Amino acid sequence: MHLPSLHSKMLQMLEPKFMHGYTSRDMGRVGERARQVVKAMGQQGGEGMELTSGDIEVLLRCFKHDMEAVDQIWQFAVLSGVVREVACFDCFLNIKMFGRQYERAFKVVEEMKEAGLRPTEYTQTCLVRLYGLTGDLVAARRVFHELSDNSSSPSIYAYNAMLDVLGMNGLVEEMRHMFLQAVGLGDFIGRDLSELEPPPTDAKRGLALSPNRETFHVLIKWHAVYWDVDRATQYVRVMNDVFGVRPVARTLKVLVTEKTAVREFQKCAEAAVMMSERYGVVPPGFVVRTLEAAKEKLAAMEKKVQEAEAQRSSIFAGLF
């Protein structure tokens, strides 16, 4: 049985993807409203008040940052006999994975199979990332290749997951090669990214894969992490000038982190200026604060070095 339209609409309004810019306090209030909706349903009882798989999904996403609440919702669904669809299992799997409850995430996949449900490409994409997060690169490759064998070409989301797995395992060169091959630019492997030009319209339609913003965020992130801010910045140009994917504030946040700002302050600052002047990306507060903190830290380090040099000079001066 389905929920009355009023309750269904109320649950749909609690869908986090519609809540851009909400603070943790706002989300706490949303969670309280969700509890009130479910409580009202329980008090009214009767036919038509049972939760559906879709309703469970909405509730899981609403409480995705509260693992205890997520577990309670899932347990309620199990004990209440809610027929959970694949999308519901995928939602629970994704939450457990990003909540770093990896062992439980693997069990979700087994529970899905035991329920007679066939894992979707989304399920397998989650598995690719899950194996990468747990350090099993061999298994991640195996699942990704299974996706390639089962379809003409894995989706961009599967590729993003595999690129991310390669990056987190330090295989940046292989990650770069996979990206170029996936978008039909294998001839550019080993060449300078500055040579890339926007492909003609017809050729663009024929690309094996159309990269999205997350694809470039993965590439930028791991190049920056592994001491290659220059190439990370080049991918900002490539994403906009070659593939028409506009950089946004998050693109800059992926590049400028606390570690990269201290390690490559000048290059990070120049990247922020370039993205502002060339692409109209206003540096978010986090990036500004990160650069300011890095500048202060570097100044303090320089001062200590100078003091150490002065002290060493005075010590050795007395020996001669």
> E strands along the chain, which residues?
none
Res 318: pLDDT: 55
Read off the pLDDT band of 1 (50, 70, 90).
Answer: very low
Q: Give pLDDT tens digits for 112-153.
A: 999 999 988 999 999 999 999 999 999 999 999 988 776 667
Structure confidence at residue 15 as a pLDDT band (50, 70, 90): low
Tracing tokens 């706002």 back to the chain, one arrives at 26
Mean pLDDT along residues 168-180: 92
pTM of the full structure? 0.78
Instruction: Please give the structure tokens belonging to residue 15.
Output: 């869908």
Q: What single letter denotes the amino acid at residue 115?
A: A
CA–CA separation, 159 and 162 (whole Å): 5
Higher pLDDT among residues 317 and 159, named by residue: 159
Residue 129 contacts by C-beta under 8 Å, 6 or more apart in sequence?
Answer: 97, 140, 161, 164, 165
> What pLDDT, in 10s, does the model give residues 240-298?
988 889 999 999 999 999 999 888 999 999 999 999 999 999 988 888 998 898 888 88
Instruction: Identify the residue with better confidence: 300 or 20.
Output: 300
Q: Are 248 and 213 in contact (CB under 8 A)?
A: yes
- The pLDDT tens digits for 60-115 are 887 888 888 888 889 888 887 888 999 999 999 999 999 999 999 999 999 999 99
Residue labelled with tokens 């091959």: 181
